[in-house]
Amino acid sequence: MELEVDLSNKHIYIDGHFRGEVGIDTFLLSTQSYFNNTLNNVKWTWKIFGEKKIINGKTHMTITKFGMRPEVGHMMVTVPDVFKGSPELAKLVQDLSQAYWSTVYRELLPIVELTWNKIGVKMSNKIFNKIPYEELFPVSLKH
């Protein structure tokens, strides 16, 4: 089975906390901060692949692969206190992230896709493994 689902979101808002370390030679910078990320005009295409599997005597669709690659119209990342005690450096990082968000997004996408796809398979199987195949894809009645 191959299933393609198209979705869109006008706005997606994500917030959280992060911790990171960056090192060059003997210089090590540790940081942690609150962040928020707003994505606008997001278009998604989910590509779901599955095969039939018998569960408790009934045929179900088990998802084997889940592909997702969102297209983002605009993204705004805010990390107000990324470098504690250095608001100038924090503003520089903020300004750079706003100016080059699409480049960074494209570079990070293959990395985060692996995680999204694993989550997508698990999430899809929670749904598809509860509904028998015959209910998902009913056979037409003959006239």
CATH number of the domain within which 79 lies = 3.15.10.30
The domain tally of the chain equals: 1
Domain interval for residue 77: 2-136
* pLDDT (average), residues 17-41: 83
Q: What is the pLDDT of residue 141?
A: 45
Identify the pLDDT of residue 86. 79
Q: What is the mean pLDDT of residues 24-51?
A: 87
Instruction: Indicate whether 142 belongs to any domain.
Output: no
Q: Identify whether 141 is part of a domain.
A: no
- pLDDT for 112: 87
Q: Does any domain span residue 130?
A: yes
pLDDT band at 143 (very low <50, low <70, confident <90, very high): very low
Mean pLDDT for 116-138 is 89
DSSP lists the bridge partners of residue 2 as 49
Q: Is residue 143 part of a domain?
A: no
Q: In sequence order, what DSSP letters do the residues of 79-124 get, joined into one string? A: -TTSSTT-HHHHHHHHHHHHHSHHHHHHHHHHHHHHHHHHHHHHHH
Q: What is the mean pLDDT of residues 25-40?
A: 84
- 118-138 average pLDDT score: 89
- The reported pTM is 0.69
pLDDT at 140: 62
pLDDT at 139: 74
In a domain, 59, yes or no: yes
User: pLDDT tens digit string along 59-95?
Assistant: 999 999 999 889 999 999 888 777 777 788 888 888 8
